[in-house]
Amino acid sequence: MGDKVIYNLGRIVSYVTLGLIIGMAGRQLWLSGLQRGVSFMSGVLIIMAGLSRLLKITIAKRPVPVLILRPVNGLLSYALQNKAGHLLLGILNGFLPCGFVYLALIGAINTQSPLQAGAYMFWFGMGTFPLMLIATIGSGFISTTIRRRINKVVPYFMIVLGFWFILRASGLNIPYLSVPAAQATTTCN
């Protein structure tokens, strides 16, 4: 049980690192005043991803080039062969391609700073922690029927999340939801 907790903490370390990196790009988008457009495009992409899962549409045979995966797969294989600690395995696994992590990163790029993006990814990791822990401990106890039912519900959540991002971008000035309007700065001459 303790090994699985440490492994999942390693995943969260990777997510926070990715959040900090994507947050740097998000910060530049905020400074450029492009955040509403990014929020809108994020929503559209998430809705498309949800619809593609609902309608079983395959957009690309290989969404991630093999050259990007090769270094992470090599490190993961080396770590497994040399019995690396569970923390390191979790960290490496956190960098492997995952659609839900991509969705979370789309959310993280919509934050105002790298620290906020890192925090966003931290809470994403903490939110996935219980389910991942249950999955690793009880994988033999959860029937395929239950897994299929969960997989059928996920695209609907993705579509709702996509509409939320589009609503954020709409400029309705809804507190805690809308992307804040750019602050006008005044200087004294």
Question: What does the DSSP assignment read for 66-110?
Answer: HHHHHHHHHHHHHHHHTT--HHHHHHHHHTS--HHHHHHHHHHTT
| Cα separation, 21 vs 111, whole angstroms | 12
- Take residue 12 and report the two structure tokens written for it: 């969260």
The tokens describing 189, both together, are 């001459």
Q: Within a domain: residue 176?
A: no
On whether residue 182 sits in a domain, the answer given is no
Other C-beta atoms lying within 10 Å of the C-beta of residue 5: 14
As for how many domains the chain has, the answer is 1
In a domain, residue 26? The reply is yes
pLDDT of 158 higher than 70:
yes
Beta carbons of 36 and 179 less than 8 angstroms apart: yes
For residue 189, what pLDDT band results from cuts at 50, 70 and 90? very low
Instruction: Look up tokens 């790298």; give the residue.
Output: 114
Mean pLDDT of the region 77-88:
75
More confident residue, 134 or 152: 152
Residues spanned by the domain of 138: 2-169
The verdict on residue 53 lying in a domain is: yes
Cα–Cα distance for residue pair 13/125, rounded to 1 Å: 9
Cα–Cα dist 80/157, whole Å: 34
